[in-house]
């Protein structure tokens, strides 16, 4: 069968970019037929940007300016994404809430990873929330982004047990191991056309 053109992806980051790295690695190993067309950060100093540059991936910094509305920022973001012909937007530690301007430009084509088993512990400091609540299991969730905070249709989840010795730091580490496994896997499923969203449920159709 002829190889299809790699799907163009953008990865949006604000920080260290370990999930970006996991995705780059899987693509370079030839497991995902995608091309990271650009990495966009809202922070000029994000380590994720140097990871991208080391792999020859174009980078863009889009910082917010004083008095700018979130929708205005998102309109600029959409412009950049269209310029690169992006088909899938991967949020990897991007510390901004998206508005409908972004969501309507990429319906069911924006993914996020959250460090908890949604719908439990949405929002910030999910690992601390889980530890303080006393749950025995937490984990991570890859989901499509809708207009709520961490509320979109769930694609994949992985479970991490919490032991009596765990701290926020150790739980975060264990969750990241799982994130680096399931996030590239979710991207791979999207790229090969295996994800079908039916209301809240994401059907995985294996080829
Ligand atoms: C991850 O823990 C993810 O769950 C959250 O942001 C963090 C990003 O980490 N959304 P990194 O920048 O990929 O290392």
CA pair distance 114, 100, nearest whole angstrom: 20
Please indicate, yes or no, whether residues 72 and 154 belong to a single structural domain of this protein.
no
Per the CB < 8 A criterion, the answer to whether 8 and 86 are in contact is yes
When pLDDT is averaged across residues 48-62 and rounded to a whole number, the result is 98
Domain encompassing residue 47: 1-106
Distance from the alpha carbon of residue 3 to the mean position of ligand 1, in angstroms: 32
Please indicate, yes or no, whether residues 122 and 66 belong to a single structural domain of this protein.
no
For the whole model, what pTM was predicted? 0.97
When pLDDT is averaged across residues 171-198 and rounded to a whole number, the result is 98
Active site residue 114: yes
User: Which residues form ligand 1's pocket by a CB distance below 6 Å?
Assistant: 15-19, 48, 92-93, 113-115, 140, 176, 179
Please indicate, yes or no, whether residues 5 and 84 belong to a single structural domain of this protein.
yes
Q: Which of 106, 137, 169 is the last residue of a domain?
A: 106
Distances in Å between the Cα of 154 and the Cα atoms of 7, 66, 85, 178 are 21, 34, 25, 16
Q: Which of 84, 106, 128 is the last residue of a domain?
A: 106
* Averaged pLDDT of the chain: 97
| Domain total in the chain | 2
Q: What CATH number did the domain enclosing 60 receive?
A: 3.40.50.170
Per the CB < 8 A criterion, the answer to whether 109 and 91 are in contact is no
State residue 96's pLDDT score: 94
Please indicate, yes or no, whether residues 30 and 2 belong to a single structural domain of this protein.
yes
Per the CB < 8 A criterion, the answer to whether 91 and 145 are in contact is yes
């Amino acid at each position: 069968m002829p190889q299809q053109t790699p799907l163009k992806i953008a990865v949006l980051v604000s920080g260290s970019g370990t999930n970006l790295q996991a995705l780059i690695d899987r693509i370079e190993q030839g497991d995902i037929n995608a091309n990271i067309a650009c990495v966009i950060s809202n922070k000029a100093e994000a380590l994720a940007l140097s990871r991208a540059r080391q792999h020859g991936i174009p980078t863009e910094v889009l910082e917010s300016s004083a008095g700018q509305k979130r929708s205005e920022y998102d309109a600029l973001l959409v412009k950049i994404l269209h310029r690169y012909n992006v088909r899938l937007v991967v949020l990897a530690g991007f510390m901004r809430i998206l508005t409908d301007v972004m969501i309507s430009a990429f319906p069911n084509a924006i993914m996020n990873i959250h460090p908890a088993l949604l719908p439990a512990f949405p929002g910030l400091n999910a690992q601390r929330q889980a530890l303080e609540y006393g749950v025995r299991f937490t984990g991570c969730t890859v989901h499509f982004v809708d207009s709520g905070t961490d509320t979109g249709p769930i694609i994949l989840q992985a479970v991490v047990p919490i032991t009596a010795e765990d701290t926020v730091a150790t739980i975060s580490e264990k969750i990241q191991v799982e994130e680096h496994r399931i996030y590239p896997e979710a991207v791979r499923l999207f790229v090969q056309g295996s994800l079908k969203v039916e209301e809240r449920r994401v059907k995985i159709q294996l080829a």
